[in-house]
């Protein structure tokens, strides 16, 4: 089979060219619409990313503020605890010094008593004589009317 091509008339040629031009214009218009939509979508996405970034930066600022606040409070608590420990140490030191002074007084009293007992044991006759002499002196004092108390 042979294909025959028949010649187109001017009107048919005009219609065909006109149809091709309309199709090309429609294709170009669709391409422009797609391009405008893509540009609009890109701008909206950029705007959305910018807003999200601004929110993220604001959130980071608040996190940083919160962390700084916690660190400040922790530092204040640390200073207060160290200060109270120092005060408590001074109070305990004072109590230890008081207990030490009392203990030294007790030790001094015990040493004096031990020295007295040692002296009495080393010189029993003098001790007995002193006691008898003291009683005798007291009796004489009573007899003479002089009371030595």
Contact 138, 148 (CB under 8 A): yes
- Structure pTM? 0.46
Annotated domain spans of the chain:
27-110
Answer whether residue 5 shows pLDDT above 80: no
pLDDT tens digits, one per residue of 60-104: 999 999 999 999 999 999 999 999 999 999 999 999 999 999 999
pLDDT-derived band at 13, boundaries 50, 70, 90: confident
Give the three-class secondary structure for 147.
coil
Cβ-count burial of 83 within 10 angstroms (0-12 exposed, 13-18 middle, 19+ buried)?
exposed
């Amino acid at each position: 089979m042979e294909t025959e091509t028949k010649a187109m008339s001017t009107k048919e040629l005009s219609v065909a060219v006109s149809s091709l031009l309309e199709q090309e214009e429609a294709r170009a218009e669709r391409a422009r619409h797609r391009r405008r939509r893509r540009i609009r979508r890109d701008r909206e996405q950029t705007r959305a990313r910018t807003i999200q970034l601004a929110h993220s930066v604001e959130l980071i600022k608040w996190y940083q503020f919160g962390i700084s606040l916690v660190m400040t409070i922790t530092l204040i608590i640390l200073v207060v605890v160290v200060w109270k420990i120092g005060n408590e140490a001074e109070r305990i030191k004072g109590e230890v010094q008081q207990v030490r002074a009392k203990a030294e007084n007790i030790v001094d009293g015990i040493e004096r008593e031990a020295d007295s007992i040692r002296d009495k044991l080393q010189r029993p006759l003098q001790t007995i004589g002193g006691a008898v002499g003291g009683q005798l002196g007291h009796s004489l004092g009573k007899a003479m009317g002089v009371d030595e108390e």
